[in-house]
Amino acid sequence: MKNVDHITLRGGGHEECIEEISDAWPYVLECAELDRYPHRSCPWHWHQEVEIFYVQSGSLEYRTLRGATSFGTGSAGFVNAGVYHMTRATDEGSGTVQLCHIFRPGLLEDAGGRITERCIRPLVEARRAEVLSWSADSPQDARALSLFRESFGLRPEDGAAYELRLRSLLSEIWALALEKARPLMDEGPASYPTHRDLRFEKMRDFVHEHYAETIEVADIASAGCTSVRDCFRSFRDYVGMGPAQYVREYRVRQSCRLLAHTSRTIESVALSCGFSSATQFSQTFRTIMGSTPSAYRARWRESDT
């Protein structure tokens, strides 16, 4: 199992790069420790693979451009291939741990045969079925959740039939996901992103590309070809905060990665992430992360050890 505390995006976009995925075995098992992610959240991204997960502890929220879904301890979910999403821990304490099966749908296919046509492709192409959930508080979800737990209990060292047993359990979970998605599939194809969705994507991408520079709200609005007022409204609706706060939090997110994975000085990290000085950086960092940059670096390295 791979423990992760951040994700890597491919250059020029927001597709997650999952290096462990291969044609020979298009699957990886991950343990996402959200408390070690910058700001306890995973940034906006998408991947070609399907994601099936189980919340081992804590609580979290999945957000897409069309809404948000909450998951508590013992709950499980399905994220369809190609869905643009982000994740954040929502519990007040700490210890949010998420186990994830990440795999290409081809792992369960029969090379263009009946299973692919009747079971795999319909769910992958059901764009309304972005995020599906099974709740620990729902008695009717008990059987499904037992399958999730069993699937995450498998390990390669369990025997030569590990791959077959894993694929069998993932197939059973897939069948439950297909059943759960039927009502959404019966509604017809999902609507395409609206002009407002696309405007927000342009503004968000502008921040991600220019966060190390001086950015005004007017610059962000201009990137989306809209007004400052609409820029404020869009950021509030899509990410729950104003554009200036989003810029600050994104800068801190990037600084966390530099603090954790490099030995660069605090001042160097500050300037690389768009802060005017180490003092401004430290004040902003403390407000958002609850500690100084130096304390964060020390705590992260101690935890890693």
pLDDT in tens, 274-299: 999 999 999 999 988 888 999 988 87
Identify the CATH class of 195-304: mainly alpha
pLDDT at 189 over 60: no
Q: Are 102 and 18 in contact, with CB atoms under 8 Å apart?
A: yes
Contacts (Cβ under 8 Å, ≥6 apart) of 173: 52, 78, 144, 147, 148, 151
Q: In the chain, pLDDT over 70 holds for what percent of residues?
A: 94
Q: Are 234 and 228 in contact, with CB atoms under 8 Å apart?
A: no
Mean pLDDT across 227-236? 93
Contacts (Cβ under 8 Å, ≥6 apart) of 162: 154, 155, 156
Instruction: Give the predicted TM-score (pTM) of the model.
Output: 0.68
Fold of 2-186: Jelly Rolls (2.60.120)
Q: Is 98 helix (H, G, I), strand (E, B) or coil?
A: strand
Tell me the pLDDT band of 304, cut-offs 50, 70 and 90: low
Instruction: Kindly report the number of other CB atoms within 10 A of residue 48's CB atom.
Output: 13
Instruction: Show the beta-strand stretches assigned E in the chain.
Output: 2-4, 27-33, 41-45, 50-57, 60-64, 67-71, 76-79, 85-89, 97-103, 131-134
Average pLDDT, the chain: 88
Q: How is the chain split into domains, by residue range?
A: 2-186, 195-304
pLDDT at 305 over 60: no
